[in-house]
Amino acid sequence: MGRYVYDFTQGGRDMAGLLGSKGANLAEMTRLGLPVPPGFTVTTEACRAYLDTGGEPAGLWREISAHLTAVETAAGRLLGQPDDPLLLSVRSGARFSMPGMMETILDIGLNDESVLGLAKVSGNDRFAWDSYRRLLQMFGSTVMGVDSAHFERALTDLKDARGVPDDVHLTADDLAGLVATFQELIRQETGEYFPQAPAEQLRRAVLAVFESWNGERARLYRRREHIADDLGTAVNVQRMVFGNLGPDSGSGVAFTRDPATGRPGLYGDYLPDAQGEDVVAGIRNTVPLTELERLDPRSHTRLRAHMETLERHYRDLCDIEFTIERGTLWMLQTRVGKRTAEAAFAIAAELADEGLITPDETLARVGGEQLARLMFPRFDTSRTGDPLAHGLPASPGAAVGAAVFDSAEAARRASAGEKVVLVRQETTPDDLPGMIAAQAVLTSRGGKTSHAAVVARGMGKVCVCGAEELSVDIEARRFTTPDGTVVEEGTVVSVDGSTGLVYAGSVPLTDSAVIRFLENGSTDEDATGLVDAVARVLARADTVRRLEVRANADTPEDAARARRFGAQGIGLCRTEHMFLGERRKLVEAMILARDEAERAEALGALLPLQRQDFTGILEAMDGLPVTIRLIDPPLHEFLPDRTDLAVRMATAEARGALPDPRDTELLDAVNRMHEENPMLGLRGVRLGLVVPGLVAMQVRAIAEAVVRRTKAGGSPRAEIMVPLVGAVEELRIEREEVERVLAEVSQESGIAVHCPVGTMIELPRAALTAGRIAQEAEFFSFGTNDLTQTTWGFSRDDVEAAFFSAYLDKGIFTTSPFETLDRDGVGRLVRIAVDEGRAARPDLKIGVCGEHGGDPDSVHFFHTAGLDYVSCSPFRVPVARLEAGRAAL
């Protein structure tokens, strides 16, 4: 039979799923012998049962009554007893802390009679009436559904009438009057009297807390924090203690260390003569905890001792809520406290030094996203004004620069030494030079995996995307905010990629010490502790991880940086990025070639350039594997836009000029190559199979680079990767061509060039026929971006803006499958391909080179799935190292 209620003496911290984290920790403190007001917890299971059926679970009230009797017996008085009432708090508390998101009702048990008893035994009329009006207010709004604004208005009216600034100045009579007003208000609004029976108050309060799980605020919070909707909340019922009984009482919150920096030592706020809710409400000014030492040294000493007990017991930073009732200290809540990324590292290292946690636990205490946050420069948040715009925080960090509206202008100003922010509606590969030149990218459209976001993250560049409230006018070179502020080209703006906020002017920056350390091993004076903590954690991760970490890099500079960040090779070198800019004309010439000779000439011009690229990259990664992917995107991406071209020709015609014959030729080619679904069209291996000479040129460039590096005394380890294979036959034919060229170059140079040939697994068919494909492939690399697109049938460039937010709202997924690998679907294909690939070829090397390679959750999946390595952008390499280590714990 289901058991729905646990006394605080019966639970413990490992029961958070059932008792909620607040309940589990109240029980833990009780077991530790700390002074916790007695009480009991109604389980999340009871909540789920209630929410499922809409009715009170059978037997629940009987269990609650029995536990209530125990609390009453211990206190020697009854709930709401007229001459000396026991009062209760009814507190929500879910598995994952959702601060302030659900309801708490204090002072249950007061009614028209017991308020008089409370006044008498406490000797404090004002306190009794104030408690009663609080109950009416909380119960009236939370349980009975009266708009809380009504109560606040009545309170304000009373204060105005009395001419006092805050409720502390209201007298007992004032508050007794307010109680009458509130009761009348409840009756008017609901047609019902406030329930005088204490048991009924309790019963209804418990059910109302259950209901609050589905309140709008709570749902929204869960969505944002990726907390499941079906967990339910527990309800803690606890004897009230009173911080508002006079100057020898009070309430406070405290941390065992500074949650911002991790520095040891009590840290917190105290408010004399107040209930806990007043501390956070900010009605009166709190005093620092050190002040309590002067006000009540005995309680302060006890508090310190309890907090030390808690930190040693939990072996982590704890935060607590406490109340002092007439000189007696009570602990009302504790949990392992939230902290900044910096504090997370500092605390983990320090607890290890204190011998409280092992090196593995130290690693478990920090996360890749926290490390990422430490790697970016930040704004000094105390010095920002109101934001100009809100967008999606797509790539973290802080950047300041003059707003510019196209790639050319960005490049022009940047080369003159100016810092710029590239503002676009959205970006395309054409904007790449501008993105490289810019400090940050700001777009008004697109999600967190839009082109702008992905590319910016890859470059470690700040990006805010999808700032839909901005109207970006590229022609007029300005954007306009909803309140009508116009930002012209050249105006300086500050972009915070960690929060998604954009500010006018230049917000001062703080540099990241961690990035300087990772880049060149240098340590800032004021960050030795932090840098040391990061270094230790990474060293531990490197010791325990099984996954190798490679980088996605297309230039010698990126390769070198990735190597400094700890990359063990390149998992994806995209050759098409080498065809942009100046070289685009050469690709165009190749596409437009009318005969073999012209094509050979164009390819011949590309060859030395590619060879030079590969030589530089192989040099930067000397001794480590470099996986070079043969050309992947559809060729028309290298041709001008069809509409632009047509407009240009029409304009020429309108002027009476003859169209440029080259334009005519281009338009023909563009029309010929136009595809409705280019991502599913002539690209990847398909290009290599139908465009003569292209693959041969690329392979020759790779092989000749290997020869050069070998002759220069290096150890080049190029690997050749064929994209978008769906059938083993495609790979077999392509591979023959690759081997032919390698043999040719070996013969010409006298140096035997061996390059492993492998394939990307990025189509469901490739995953499903991986056993056969492995016969021709020496390695697999999962292209999880395309694999996600083709498995879900989502066009990444279209779906995010179109309906992902609706999908997230409806709970179809809690994170975009382009950010975190979809384990059930795409992950299943990955597992099939790993199993069948290895069965066919036991020494098959398997990695992943999609965006997911740097995503913490996905890295854990790849570890479990048995991959050999993950590959990600250079700036994610330390993150992947860390997470690969944590996955191996």
Which entry of ligand ADP, Mg ion, none binds 762, CB below 5 to 8 A by partner kind? Mg ion
100 binds ligand ADP (CB under 6 A): yes
Q: Which is nearer to ligand ADP, 324 or 454 (CB)?
A: 324
- Token output for 51: 């929410």
Distance CA 33, CA 728 (A): 67
Catalytic pick among 573, 755, 849, 872: 849
Which entry of ligand ADP, Mg ion, none binds 89, CB below 5 to 8 A by partner kind? ligand ADP
Reduced to 3 states (helix: H, G, I; strand: E, B; else coil), residue 233 is: strand
783 binds Mg ion (CB under 5 A): yes
698 binds ligand ADP (CB under 6 A): no
How near is the Cβ of 485 to Mg ion at its closest, in Å?
Answer: 40
Residue pair 240/106 in contact (Cβ under 8 Å)? The answer is: yes
Residue pair 735/783 in contact (Cβ under 8 Å)? The answer is: no
332 binds ligand ADP (CB under 6 A): yes
How near is the Cβ of 850 to Mg ion at its closest, in Å?
Answer: 8
Distance CA 109, CA 128 (A): 12
Residue pair 49/78 in contact (Cβ under 8 Å)? The answer is: no
Comparing CA positions, the residue from 105, 106, 104, 126 lying closest to residue 115 is 126
Distance CA 456, CA 442 (A): 10
245 binds ligand ADP (CB under 6 A): no
Q: Which is nearer to Mg ion, 424 or 796 (CB)?
A: 796
How near is the Cβ of 68 to ligand ADP at its closest, in Å?
Answer: 14
Stretch binding Mg ion (CB under 5 A), from 208-216, 329-337, 579-587, 713-721: 329-337
User: Residue 680, Cα to own-chain centre: how many angstroms?
Assistant: 31
Within 257-296, the residues that bind ligand ADP by CB under 6 A are 275-277
How near is the Cβ of 50 to ligand ADP at its closest, in Å?
Answer: 19
Q: Which is nearer to ligand ADP, 303 or 721 (CB)?
A: 303
Which entry of Mg ion, ligand ADP, none binds 786, CB below 5 to 8 A by partner kind? Mg ion
How near is the Cβ of 627 to Mg ion at its closest, in Å?
Answer: 13
Taken in order 807, 813, 814, 816, is the CA torsion positive or negative? negative
Residue pair 105/143 in contact (Cβ under 8 Å)? The answer is: yes
122-to-71, 128, 171, 325 alpha-carbon distances in Å: 20, 8, 16, 11
Concatenated DSSP letters of 101-141: TS-EEEEET--TTHHHHHHHHHT-HHHHHHHHHHHHHHIII
Which entry of ligand ADP, Mg ion, none binds 783, CB below 5 to 8 A by partner kind? Mg ion
How near is the Cβ of 473 to Mg ion at its closest, in Å?
Answer: 34
Within 58-97, the residues that bind ligand ADP by CB under 6 A are 89, 91
Which entry of ligand ADP, Mg ion, none binds 611, CB below 5 to 8 A by partner kind? none
Q: Which is nearer to ligand ADP, 319 or 855 (CB)?
A: 319
The per-type count for the chain, helices as H runs and strands as E runs, is 36, 31
286 binds Mg ion (CB under 5 A): no
251 binds ligand ADP (CB under 6 A): yes
Order the strands of the 5-7 sheet from edge to edge. 5-7, 39-42, 233-239, 88-94, 104-108
Residue pair 851/879 in contact (Cβ under 8 Å)? The answer is: no
Distance CA 722, CA 180 (A): 79
Stretch binding Mg ion (CB under 5 A), from 214-222, 330-338, 737-745, 807-815: 330-338
Concatenated DSSP letters of 735-769: HHHHHHHHHHHHHHHTS-----EEEEE-SHHHHHT
Which residues is 253 bridged to in the sheet? 269, 321
Look up 451 and say whether it is catalytic: yes
Which entry of Mg ion, ligand ADP, none binds 369, CB below 5 to 8 A by partner kind? none
How near is the Cβ of 67 to ligand ADP at its closest, in Å?
Answer: 15
Which entry of Mg ion, ligand ADP, none binds 91, CB below 5 to 8 A by partner kind? ligand ADP
Helix (H) or strand (E) holding 770: helix 770-773
How near is the Cβ of 88 to ligand ADP at its closest, in Å?
Answer: 7
User: Residue 270, Cα to own-chain centre: how many angstroms?
Assistant: 33
Q: Which is nearer to Mg ion, 617 or 849 (CB)?
A: 849
Rounded CA Rg of the chain = 33
Query: Binding string to ligand ADP for residues 13 to 52, with x set by CB under 6 A, is what?
Result: ------------------------x---------------
104 binds ligand ADP (CB under 6 A): yes
Q: Which is nearer to ligand ADP, 240 or 487 (CB)?
A: 240
Which entry of ligand ADP, Mg ion, none binds 533, CB below 5 to 8 A by partner kind? none
Q: Which residues contact 597 (CB under 8 A, 6 or more apart)?
A: none
Catalytic pick among 451, 636, 852, 860: 451
Which entry of ligand ADP, Mg ion, none binds 100, CB below 5 to 8 A by partner kind? ligand ADP
Q: Are strands 779-782 and 501-504 parallel, antiparallel or unpaired?
A: unpaired
Within 740-779, the residues that bind Mg ion by CB under 5 A are 762
At CA 243, angle to CA 241 and CA 245, rounded to 5? Answer: 100
Q: Which is nearer to ligand ADP, 90 or 115 (CB)?
A: 90
Q: Which is nearer to Mg ion, 249 or 790 (CB)?
A: 790
* Strand blocks (E) in 656-796: 717-722, 757-761, 779-782
Q: Which is nearer to Mg ion, 786 or 855 (CB)?
A: 786
How near is the Cβ of 275 to ligand ADP at its closest, in Å?
Answer: 6
For the beta carbon of residue 481, count every other beta carbon within 10 angstroms.
17
Q: Which is nearer to Mg ion, 89 or 362 (CB)?
A: 89
Q: Which is nearer to ligand ADP, 321 or 613 (CB)?
A: 321
Number of residues that bind ligand ADP (CB under 6 A): 19
Reduced to 3 states (helix: H, G, I; strand: E, B; else coil), residue 6 is: strand
372 binds ligand ADP (CB under 6 A): no
With CB under 6 A as the contact rule, the residue among 141, 201, 233, 333 that binds ligand ADP is 333
Look up 849 and say whether it is catalytic: yes
786 binds Mg ion (CB under 5 A): yes
683-to-381, 472, 723, 724 alpha-carbon distances in Å: 46, 33, 9, 8
Query: Which residues sit at the interface with ligand ADP, rule CB under 6 A?
Result: 37, 89, 91, 99-100, 104, 106, 238-241, 251, 275-277, 321, 323, 332-333
**Catalytic residue positions, numbered:** 451, 849
Positions that interact with Mg ion (CB under 5 A): 333, 762, 783, 786
